[in-house]
Amino acid sequence: MPALASHRKTRSRTVKSSPAVGFTTAALASVTLLSTQSANAAPAEPKPSVEEVQKKVDDLYRQAGTATQKYNKAKEATEEKRREVDELLDDAAKRTDKLNESRRELGTYAAAQYRTGAVTPTAALLFADSPQAYFDQTQLMDRMTDRQRSVIDDYETQRAAAAEQRAEATKSLESLTRSQQALRTSKQDVQAKLAEARTLLSKLTAEEKARLAAIEREKEEEARRRAEAKAKEEAEARAEAERRRQEQEQNQGGDTGTDTGSDTGSGSTGGATYAAKAEKVLSFARSQIGKPYVWGASGPSSYDCSGLTQAAWKAAGVDLPRTTWDQVKVGVRVETKDLLPGDLVFFYDDISHVGIYIGDGKMIHAPKPGTNVREESIYYMPIYGSVRPA
């Protein structure tokens, strides 16, 4: 029946989008977004070379050495201030005892005045055992009044001195607090530098660590060659000095009264005295070889660089300051070519390291964290200058 079919309502069709088409559109949008972000993102930093890491680590160790000297200086200042504060507090306690003693004496006189002040002179005369007893008591009270004035003056003096002592102690305590803060800051600085160095080294591969070790060996070899050259120069100088000495003896007919040896020690102590002290210094330093470097340490089980030099010279009866910055000011300056065993050799422009010269271009020193006290060429690091302490 075709006629009836023409009146049937046409059913509308809904066209559904394919899930695959939607996913593809989202993926394209994501790719576009990621591509845009990648284009705008900064390029990743290239990994530093082994040589760059080695230079950075060396610099961090040097900075840690500088921070260690700051720590040593702050520690020294803190200990000095603590001793000063303790002395002031002891003095303040003694002053307080004297003040209390004066206060007790004043109280005694005040009580005596109270007991006698309520009685008139006439009544006192009447109640006295005799006129002579009255006059004796009156003279005694007059003398007590003079003594009382002296006690009052002493009390006022002690009270003013105690107040001044307390003010001085307070000021020193504030200075001690500042020194302690500087000590904490320096300690944190050292720890931060060392931690950064360890982090850099931990990121190296086994191959890179091998390359770094090879670079260190090359550096040590170059320093060794320079030390050998200096040792040769020193040997030649000693031989020439001995030749001149023998020649002078022959010219003087065997008179050996004049010492013209190769010892060039300077200062009022004379060469022989300095050599004797230096022998004790080197004996002590050699006995410390193998002990670990620990920043801030001055023995006996571990050392930092200036702690070792201070302890070694103390063994020879010479007191050196604690830091490299103060040790470099002690004694007389000497050129590298004129170095003698026992002299102190300082390194870097900031004078952050020091070693004890032992001759032949070598020294004994406490190098850096992770190493032990050892002998090494003085040319391993850039030399700042040298001093002869005594």
Q: 158 CB contacts (<8 Å, ≥6 apart)?
A: 95, 98, 99, 102
Q: Which residue out of 73, 95, 230, 353 is catalytically annotated?
A: 353
Whether residue 381 lies in the annotated active site = no
CA dist 282 and 58 (Å) reads 28
Is residue 386 within a helix (H) or strand (E), and if so which, with residue range? strand 383-388
7 a catalytic residue: no
Residue 16 tokens read as 């559904």
Torsion sign across C-alpha atoms 96, 97, 101, 107? positive
Buried b (16+ CB within 10 A) or exposed e, 116-136: eeeeeeeeebeeeeeeeebee
**Active site annotation includes 159:** no
Tell me the CA distances in angstroms from 310 to 202, 215, 262, 282, 335, one per residue in order.
34, 32, 27, 12, 21
Annotated catalytic residue, options 277, 365, 368, 388: 365
Pair 363, 354: CB distance under 8 Å:
no
Choose, from 74, 305, 311, 381, the residue flagged as catalytic: 305
Catalytic residues: 305, 353, 365
